[in-house]
Amino acid sequence: MNLRFVSLVWCALLAGSASLKAGPAEVALGPPLRPLPTARDWPLGEPGRRWVVDAVQGLDEAPGDGSVAHPWRTLGRALGAAGPGDTILLRAGLHYGHSVVTLRATPEAPLTIRSFPGEIAVIDGGRSEFFDDPPGSWEPFPAGGDGEFRSIKSYPLETVSSEAQTSALGHFAGNMVPLHGYRIAGDLRSANEYFSLLKDGKTGEGGGIYCGPGLWHDPESGRLHVRLAHTSQTVLGKENYQGPTDPRQVRLCVATSREPALMLDGAAHVVLRGLVLRGSVGAPLVLRDCANVLLEGVTLYGGASALQVTGTRGLRCGDCAFRGLAAPWTWRGSLKYRAIESRLVSASHWSPSARGNADFEFARCEFTDSVDGVFIGGVGQVEIHHCLLDNVSDDGVFLTCNTAYDGSTRGG
């Protein structure tokens, strides 16, 4: 199948579910780095009540009642009504916000959150305006680098920090190719693309290095800066970025918060099915102190990680895709030394606490395009089988972090 065509269909699907303002025609992007999520006709076999959420047509107040005819508008409203055995059906499109699941369901009556049959629902923790209204979100910034723009609005940082910290991440919405999360303004504006030409070595500012299309969050003004300049590294050939350079002509997914798009906090017996999660500088999906969680057919576009798990026992991931921050023009050093040394699954730390994880299974999953891959050294009883690990430039599957579980992973 033509990946450029799939990219256009994907963006049209999401655009059709949002209230887009009129603007210039969107410039065509290149093909996606990985296959984009496609709608699956998951059968409605779950027992119990069904609550419907439509981010465009729904209403959280009357006459909205969570039915197909009168859906609610937000996932949070549905979570407030759902109980054990219920199913929350998200209609196609973009569901913005930061939702938290705390329900402790039962083995006989789990809580299911899923896409409506034959549709794709995206839970997005990012900023909607850069997708909905690109022309009204950016303005040229002549004082910056060649082709640099900045956001019209300010977005205060979550914490006061130095310039050298990534606080904004994103993707091209049409093909979900990552944007570089710049820590240093000089890198965003640099004409240099080679680490060998950095004056202060791979970690110093030293004149800067342009790592491809990306974002920088100005800690003083709160403005987001973007530059989509082409790359021209000889070794990359056709992998160089040659797409649109004006952000007003292309929809972007932009995140400025480390909060997850969806968090399961102390929840039990929860099923996530056929969803896409994205839009966090941290992780779009966080599990904390949970029990018996199933992810089936879920695609996660990561920030610092795609999935973060602590204190959880019983996690099953089947037919899921965990995507990282590496674009086709991204080098290991670009992320490790000039942005975020990201992971795909973060389930252990260098100094693990007593709140450990246990009983995990990953089956038929894809882990791609990151510095680090699957960190499970602090997890007891792990099985990983029939999975793909590709384009992970540092630690692929990290099996040991000096914990009591060393050597307990099957095959490790």
Residue-level pLDDT, tens digit, the chain, 412 residues? 444 444 555 555 565 444 434 444 567 788 999 999 999 988 887 678 999 999 999 999 999 999 999 999 999 999 999 999 999 999 999 999 999 999 999 999 999 999 999 999 999 999 999 999 999 999 999 999 999 999 999 998 876 444 457 999 999 999 999 999 999 999 999 999 998 888 777 776 667 999 999 999 999 999 999 999 999 999 999 999 999 999 999 999 999 999 999 999 999 999 999 999 999 999 999 999 999 999 999 999 999 999 999 999 999 999 999 999 999 999 999 999 889 999 999 987 655 554 679 999 999 999 999 999 998 887 888 999 999 999 999 989 987 656 666 556 665 5
Q: How big is the chain, counted in residues?
A: 412
Nearest of 279, 277, 312, 272 to residue 295 by alpha carbon:
272
148: in domain:
yes
332: in domain:
yes
Asked which of 209, 231, 251 is the last residue of a domain, the reply is 251
343: in domain:
yes
Q: 28 is written with which tokens?
A: 């065509």
356: in domain:
yes
- The verdict on 297 and 383 lying in the same domain is yes
**Sequence-distant (≥ 6) Cβ neighbours of residue 196 within 8 angstroms:** none
**Sequence-distant (≥ 6) Cβ neighbours of residue 365 within 8 angstroms:** 317, 318, 319, 320, 321, 322, 387, 388
Handedness of CA 8, 59, 300, 50 (dihedral sign): negative
- The verdict on 200 and 224 lying in the same domain is yes
With contact defined as beta carbons under 8 Å apart, do 412 and 377 qualify?
no
- The verdict on 320 and 238 lying in the same domain is no
The boundaries of the domain holding residue 103 are: 50-126+257-398
147: in domain:
yes
14: in domain:
no
Could you give the number of structural domains in the chain? Answer: 2
**Whole-angstrom Cα distance, residue 36 to residue 11?**
10
